[in-house]
Amino acid sequence: MISWVGRGLVMFEAVIFDWDGTLADTKDAIVFSFQEVLREIGCTVTDRSLERQIGIGARNMFRDALRSAGIPYDEEAIDRLMEKKNKLHAGLADRIRIFSGVTDLLDSLCSRVKIALATMSSRSVIDQLLREKGMRGYFGLVISADEVEQPKPHPEAFLKCAERLKCQPEKCVVVEDSIFGVMAARKANMKCIAVLSGAYSEKELQETKPDLIVNSISEKDRILHYIFANG
């Protein structure tokens, strides 16, 4: 569990995963739930614009959509939209697919490092989806959007993971699919593996300077080699 960082020797103690677009293909469920709620209030946004904002938190996505449409709002209005969206999203487990190779990778990690999940999904949504997909047992800790004040690209979610896992940030590796997640990992002083399974191109992810880019989570050997290169 050792990797060279600069001139020092650092033992990685924890791997922190994102959920949406990293471990699970949730794009259709997220876009559908947002569009259903936005349609009710006459707010029109493209599916693509929503896809590229996955990761910044649903509240910010609603705020951006309403601003872009010139629709006035307050935080009580956002609360109502969030409640409707979360109920829809949580009921769409049949539209959500765990990516190939995820359980194989998690099985290879679970006896060697601490594993956490840091997602900008709401607590009610992620808890239900993890139960329905049989994934909850893999994570010693789950941090959701409800536990942070600042969503990604702010590093708060990752730093809270490190604190609760009792790990130094530099001893954590983040696995992410979005530019927001990679930026958050870097700000948290953590290493980051970027996965090309979300809405962002390899060039876009490279610009945020992850430590490793893989095509998919099924590239288990490359991911494990990075985490345990000198172990």
pLDDT in tens, 145-187: 999 999 999 999 999 999 999 999 999 999 999 999 999 999 9
Residues 18 and 60 in one domain: no
Residues 67 and 177 in one domain: no
Identify the pLDDT of residue 11: 72
Identify the pLDDT of residue 229: 82
Residues 109 and 219 in one domain: yes
Residues 133 and 221 in one domain: yes
62, 94, 126 - which closes a domain: 94
Residues 109 and 191 in one domain: yes
Cα separation values, 155 from 2, 60, 161, 205, Å = 24, 16, 10, 17
Domain limits at 126?
2-26+96-227
Measured over the CA atoms of residue 186, residue 206, residue 97 and residue 95, the dihedral's sign is positive
CA 203 to chain centre: 19
**pTM for the model:** 0.91
Domain with 122 in it: what CATH number?
3.40.50.1000
Residues 9 and 81 in one domain: no
Residues 67 and 150 in one domain: no
Domain count, the chain: 2
pLDDT in tens, 106-154: 999 999 999 999 999 999 999 999 999 999 999 999 999 999 999 999 9
77, 94, 111 - which closes a domain: 94
pLDDT in tens, 14-72: 999 999 999 999 999 999 999 999 999 999 999 999 999 998 999 999 999 999 999 99
Bridging pattern class, strands 24-25 and 97-98: antiparallel
Residue 20 three-state SS: strand
94, 112, 127 - which closes a domain: 94
Bridging pattern class, strands 14-17 and 172-176: parallel
